[in-house]
Amino acid sequence: MSTTDRTRPFVRPYRPADRAAVYDVCVRTADAGGDARGIYRDPDLMPDIFAGPYLHLAPHLAFVLDDGRRAVGYVLGVADTAAFAEAFRREWLPRVADRYPRAAVPDTPDERMIELLHTPERMVLPELADHPAHLHIDILPEHQRAGHGRTLIHTLLAALRREGVPRVHLGMVTANTAARRFYDRLGFHELPVPDPGPLTYLGRSTEIAGTP
Ligand SMILES: CC(C)(COP(=O)(O)OP(=O)(O)OC[C@H]1O[C@@H](n2cnc3c(N)ncnc32)[C@H](O)[C@@H]1OP(=O)(O)O)[C@@H](O)C(=O)NCCC(=O)NCCS
């Protein structure tokens, strides 16, 4: 059977040819899980913050859900959030900064998001230090609720485990209650962070029951 004959989507490692599809999935799921197209002036803004740097700096920890034609979902991870924030500033920001100039006083949705791009150190919080890895996961609506999110998370957990990373965290928009139910089912628990703003932080071990 060739890959184009497959009907059931499958998880595989990311490859550079997936980049545009990953960007597309990102923008279609970036408004607290819903479609963010039309919200920001530049459709690449959200992916340039929440997908591009992961693909660029840690492609070996990126996995996609492939429907036989293209990537329709992904999980993106980094093993060490503090090292990632440094590399984000040093290697990623110079590639995109000109496209997204910073506002003196961020006010509009675009400006507030651009401010996040320019401040990668915001990701490094002492309360998360013992959960050094972090992740992002998104799947197009037509492929949600079919078990692929669980497969993607377990694929990343296994990859992190192989790198010796004991625990992983994520920051999610608190209003995304559907995602919260998913993470609860996947064994994530809340990590208390002072002044978390619109986010909730969750974490769990990279150990998967029944595997070494
Ligand atoms: C959140 C998301 C990654 C979950 O992936 P998924 O493939 O839909 O989830 P799965 O089918 O693997 O579900 C795994 C478990 O979570 C539960 N679950 C998933 N979504 C749920 C929901 N909205 N409400 C209740 N339970 C849910 C499933 O019922 C399943 O439970 P089980 O243990 O009984 O089998 C996916 O829906 C998505 O990409 N949503 C839009 C983008 C988004 O919100 N990303 C997260 C940003 S923080």
pTM over 0.85, yes/no: yes
Pull the structure tokens for residue 193.
């962070």
Ligand 1 neighbourhood includes 152 CB (under 6 angstroms): no
**210 belongs to a structural domain:** no
Specify if 21 maps to a domain: yes
- Evaluate whether residue 211 is within a structural domain: no
The answer to whether residue 212 sits within a structural domain is: no
Quick one: 17 exposed, middle or buried, by C-beta within 10 A (0-12, 13-18, 19+)? Answer: exposed
The sign of the dihedral angle between the CA atoms of 76, 84, 53, 106 is positive
Per-residue pLDDT of 141-170, as tens digits, reads 999 999 999 999 999 999 999 999 999 999
Nearest CA to ligand 1 atom 43: 33
Taking CA atoms only, the protein residue closest to ligand 1 atom 33 is 185
Q: Where residue 212 falls among pLDDT bands split at 50, 70, 90?
A: low
Backbone φ, ψ for residue 34 (5° rounding) = -105, 180
Rounded distance from Cα 170 to ligand 1 centre (Å): 15
Answer yes or no: is the C-beta of 176 below 6 A from any ligand 1 atom. yes
Give the full edge-to-edge strand order of the sheet including 167-173.
Answer: 10-13, 62-66, 71-78, 133-139, 167-173, 199-205, 189-190
Is 186 contained in some domain? yes
Give the domain extent around 65. 3-205
CATH number at residue 39: 3.40.630.30
Distance in Å, CA 145 to ligand 1 centroid: 6
**Sequence-distant (≥ 6) Cβ neighbours of residue 115 within 8 angstroms:** 102, 103, 106
Assigned domain for 190 exists: yes
For ligand 1, whether the C-beta of 29 sits within 6 Å is yes
**How would you class 3 by CB atoms within 10 Å of its CB: exposed for 0-12, middle for 13-18, buried for 19 or more?**
exposed
* Ligand 1 binding pocket includes 32 (Cβ within 6 Å): no
Over residues 128-141, the pLDDT tens digits come to 999 999 999 999 99
- Centre of ligand 1 from the C-alpha of residue 139, in Å: 9
